[in-house]
Structure 1
Amino acid sequence: MDKLKPPHELKIAGGNLADRWERFLERFRWYLAAVGEDGSEDKMKVAILLTVVGAEAQEVFRTFTYEPAKAAVGNPPAVQAETAGQCNTVVRKFTEFCVPRKNVIYERYVFHTRVQGEGETIDSFTTDLRLKSQSCEFGSLQAKPDT
């Protein structure tokens, strides 16, 4: 297991950042489970995340701000302070940064201009089209896998 490669770095610039973040996060969670760190303390998970996420995303991490603790006033319960050492908080901050940057018009352009490459199998081509259609928000027009 010590030879297990971490997920590829998260590329911030260009394309569908929301999709890349979701895929990175999925691979990161698999990686944590594979190396036996999914039950680790938050500080360790954050350290692993920041190690594998790459330099571009580390720069984004440095811009995050965290909410201070709020005392209970009346009925609402007190809110604990957010910190950079809480894995769920850091993941949420990255999600907030990445998800709004999805450009549906661009994603549809990419889908509609996709051309089957020379030597590319029809299975590979249709699989790529199905993957690309997921970020296009086609709704009921989106292809469903065969059941």
Structure 2
Amino acid sequence: MADEKKEAGAMVSTCILAPPASFDFRRPEEWGLVSGLSEKSGEMQVSTLIYILGQEARDIMNSFNLSDKESASYEAVVKRFKSHFIPKRNVIYERVKFNLRSQPANESVDTFITALHLLAEK
């Protein structure tokens, strides 16, 4: 949204952009990546990712103790964030949950099958 102002006989155009909403750290399952940055340098990609995620992401990234080379590598930073936000699953536990799932009397077949598919994904 550009506002045009006349200052000292010249037209000046300003653009005010609101930053996107910060990443909600209480909902890590919504972890996603910034798209459209593949043409930029790794350092610019990392900076944009941290900007969009917010201050808490910067604090988390600082706790990774990455080298300067790793900090400038988008792939290395994303790999570390993924391992931070997506915990390892206990396969045995997930199998037990799947095997114990039963269909209550008031549940439709479609709902039950959908629930089984969701459990099977894990």
Question: What TM-score range do you get, normalising by the shorter chain?
Answer: 0.5 to 0.7
- Tell me if structure 1 keeps the 8 A contact 2:50–2:58: no
Match of 1:65 in 2: 65
Q: Which runs of 4+ in 1 moved over 6 A?
A: 4-7
User: Relative to structure 1, is the Cα distance of residues 86 and 47 closer, same or farther in structure 2, using a 3 angstrom cutoff?
Assistant: farther
> Which residue identity lines up with residue 67 of structure 1 in the other structure?
S
1 CA distance for matches of 2:23 and 2:106? 29
Match of 1:115 in 2: 102
Q: In percent, how many aligned pairs have the same letter?
A: 24
User: Which of the pair is proportionally richer in strand?
Assistant: 2
Could you tell me which runs of 5 or more consecutive residues in structure 2 were left unpaired when the two chains were aligned. Answer: 1-17
User: Relative to structure 1, is the Cα distance of residues 46 and 109 closer, same or farther in structure 2, using a 3 angstrom cutoff?
Assistant: same
2 CA distance for matches of 1:7 and 1:121? 36
2 CA distance for matches of 1:5 and 1:125? 36
Higher relative contact order (CA 8 A, sep 6+): 1
2 CA distance for matches of 1:101 and 1:94? 13
Question: Alignment partner of 2:70: what SS?
Answer: coil
Match of 2:113 in 1: 126
Larger radius of gyration: 2
TM-score if structure 1 supplies the norm length?
A: 0.46
2 CA distance for matches of 1:128 and 1:8? 26
- Tell me if structure 1 keeps the 8 A contact 2:94–2:119: yes
- Following superposition, the deviation at residue 100 of structure 1 comes to 6.4
Match of 2:50 in 1: 46
Question: Alignment partner of 1:101: what SS?
Answer: coil
Aligned-pair RMSD on alpha carbons? 3.8
Q: Does 1:88 align with 2:92?
A: no
Could you tell me which runs of 5 or more consecutive residues in structure 1 were left unpaired when the two chains were aligned. Answer: 13-19, 69-80, 136-147
